[in-house]
Copies of this chain bind each other. A is one copy, B any other.
Amino acid sequence: MFPNGDNMFVILVYDVEQKRVNKVLKTCRKYLYWVQNSVLEGEITESRLTKLKMELERIIDKEKDSVIIYRFSTRKYQVIETMGIKKGGEENIL
């Protein structure tokens, strides 16, 4: 479980039209870590996740874009494996 009982682990993946990519990524990065192309992850509180979703709702076009949020209340049962290069992080912002 998380040190702070209110926290959860989140994986967020988005698939949005090109013109909204920058705004979506910038918004998500205020709350989560960017790990790959259109994928972010991180620990977050319920209230901050609610804020993030409200911000995203104002940006995305619900007829055209897609955002999936996987929420986990513990990381105890989680293993992350990576193949190839690490693509996320500050250094790869275009």
Contact = CB atoms under 8 A, between A and B. Distances in A.
A41 to B, nearest CB: 8
Interface string A33-45: 0011111000000
A38 B35 CA distance: 13
Interface string A60-89: 111111111111111011111111111100
Given A15-B37, A37-B15, A77-B77, A84 B67 contact: yes
Contacts of A87: 15, 66
Given A13-B13, A37-B15, A85 B69 contact: no
B70 A77 contact: no
A62 to B, nearest CB: 5
Interface of A: 11, 13, 15-16, 35-39, 53, 56-57, 60-74, 76-87
Q: Which 5 A-B pairs have the closest CB atoms?
A: A15-B37, A67-B83, A73-B77, A71-B79, A66-B87
